[in-house]
């Protein structure tokens, strides 16, 4: 009986402590930051924020931002925190934490960094060169969220424009970062990362840097344009370029090469022409005799007209044509497209610096 009483006491102690060790998981709402999420779940204050960041550091975006669709672990409630779940707890106003200057070392060759959006296998990367040091880029893959964009058919599968544009955009962003550039990935999916599959499954998880993407076209385009302009104001003066990545939809019989749209802004046409000449050179090298029929033209497109940085709009082919489909479903081809666009940006940045010497 003596030992039986000890065992029962031990079991009761474990059961009474269990809630303290349970890890509560939550997903952020639109517009949530770490502080607002914690307040809504009755965990106000700097200490809770510090614990939350430590528990979830591998799941957070840049600047400890929250990613939509991701489940985060809440720090355990301290004794005495008894406010009803979901009811905001009053707290004294706190000063916004000041971000320390990044410093030159952050973009030095050999610096190892991490971007969770690239996926588990490729999240870590190393800055290999300083070719784009001092340059800033805004990479925008077309459509996303409730809008899949153009849809093609191949072997009984649907090919969604937004998924392929996003994958190529991530590959481009990673290339640019490895050359020392500062890159803002405007459209984000917290789950997908860079994928090597031929058929990329469609989802509606994409956000505009954490904010839900509107279904309405004008609202959608205004949202991403406004985000770019907001970031550009913070980035300050200097070389900044935007790229909008799309895949066209035409007749199944119409094969197209990559073509580029520019705005009337100074530098936009030059960037588009640099893109075209780079692609033409690659085609001549890898497919001699084929020729390259991609074009450059000025278009009055909302995102080109309403964003401050010099930008280019890229159409990577016809999602309905069987040969153009090979350009996007083969992962090596998607990587090649990203490599060539990155190379064109290096040329454009080099020309920019020469003019200012």
Length of the chain: 357
Q: Is residue 185 part of a domain?
A: yes
- The count of other CB atoms within 10 Å of the CB of residue 186 is 24
Q: Is residue 12 part of a domain?
A: no
52 and 179 share a domain?
Answer: no
More confident residue, 252 or 256: 256
Q: Is residue 16 part of a domain?
A: no
| Mean pLDDT, rounded, for 31-57 | 83
Q: Is residue 109 part of a domain?
A: yes
Among residues 60, 84, 99, the one where a domain terminates is 99
More confident residue, 21 or 111: 111
pLDDT of res. 11: 47
179 and 76 share a domain?
Answer: no
pLDDT of res. 4: 53
pTM for the model: 0.72
pLDDT of res. 31: 65
pLDDT of 82 strictly over 60:
no
93 and 119 share a domain?
Answer: no
231 and 317 share a domain?
Answer: yes
Q: Is residue 13 part of a domain?
A: no
180 and 313 share a domain?
Answer: yes
pLDDT of 2 strictly over 60:
no
44 and 140 share a domain?
Answer: no
Q: Is residue 166 part of a domain?
A: yes
79 and 126 share a domain?
Answer: no
Task: Answer yes or no: are the C-beta atoms of 150 and 319 closer than 8 Å.
Answer: yes
Q: pLDDT, tens digit, for every residue of 288-305? A: 878 888 999 999 999 999
- Residue-range definition of the domain harbouring residue 144: 104-355
181 and 271 share a domain?
Answer: yes
pLDDT of res. 140: 98
| Mean pLDDT, rounded, for 123-152 | 96
Q: pLDDT, tens digit, for every residue of 204-249? A: 999 999 999 999 999 999 999 999 999 999 999 999 999 999 998 8
More confident residue, 161 or 35: 161
Q: Is residue 8 part of a domain?
A: no
Confidence of residue 79 (pLDDT cuts 50, 70, 90): low
Number of domains in the chain: 2
Among residues 68, 99, 130, the one where a domain terminates is 99
Q: Is residue 172 part of a domain?
A: yes
| Mean pLDDT, rounded, for 16-21 | 42
| CATH number for position 109 | 3.40.630.40
């Amino acid at each position: 009986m003596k030992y039986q009483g000890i065992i029962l006491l031990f079991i009761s102690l474990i059961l009474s402590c269990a809630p303290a060790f349970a890890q509560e998981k939550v997903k952020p709402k639109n517009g949530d930051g770490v502080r607002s999420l914690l307040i809504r779940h009755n965990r106000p204050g700097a200490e809770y924020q510090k614990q939350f960041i430590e528990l979830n550091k591998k799941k957070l975006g840049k600047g400890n931002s929250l990613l939509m669709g991701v489940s985060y672990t809440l720090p355990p409630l301290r004794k005495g925190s008894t406010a009803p779940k979901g009811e905001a707890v009053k707290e004294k106003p706190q000063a916004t934490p000041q971000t320390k200057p990044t410093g030159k070392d952050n973009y030095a060759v050999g610096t190892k960094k991490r971007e969770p959006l690239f996926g588990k296998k490729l999240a870590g990367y190393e800055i290999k060169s300083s070719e784009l040091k001092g340059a800033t880029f805004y990479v925008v893959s077309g459509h996303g969220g409730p809008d899949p964009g153009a849809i093609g058919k191949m072997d009984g599968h649907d090919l969604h424009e937004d998924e392929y544009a996003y994958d190529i955009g991530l590959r481009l962003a990673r290339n640019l970062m490895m050359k020392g550039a500062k890159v803002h990935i405007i459209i984000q999916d917290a789950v997908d990362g860079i994928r090597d599959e031929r058929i990329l499954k469609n989802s509606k998880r994409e956000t505009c840097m954490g904010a839900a993407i509107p279904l309405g076209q004008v609202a959608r385009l205004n949202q991403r344009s406004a985000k770019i302009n907001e970031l550009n104001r913070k980035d300050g003066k200097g070389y900044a370029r935007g790229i909008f990545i799309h895949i066209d939809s035409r007749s199944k019989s119409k094969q197209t090469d990559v073509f580029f749209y520019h705005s009337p802004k100074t530098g936009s046409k030059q960037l588009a022409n640099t893109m075209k000449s780079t692609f033409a050179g690659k085609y001549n090298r890898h497919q001699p005799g084929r020729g390259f029929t991609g074009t450059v033209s000025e278009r009055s497109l909302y995102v080109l007209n309403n964003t401050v940085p010099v930008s280019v709009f890229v159409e990577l082919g016809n999602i309905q044509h069987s040969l153009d489909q090979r350009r996007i479903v083969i992962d090596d081809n998607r990587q090649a497209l990203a490599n060539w666009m990155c190379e064109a940006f290096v040329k454009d940045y080099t020309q920019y610096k020469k003019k200012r010497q």
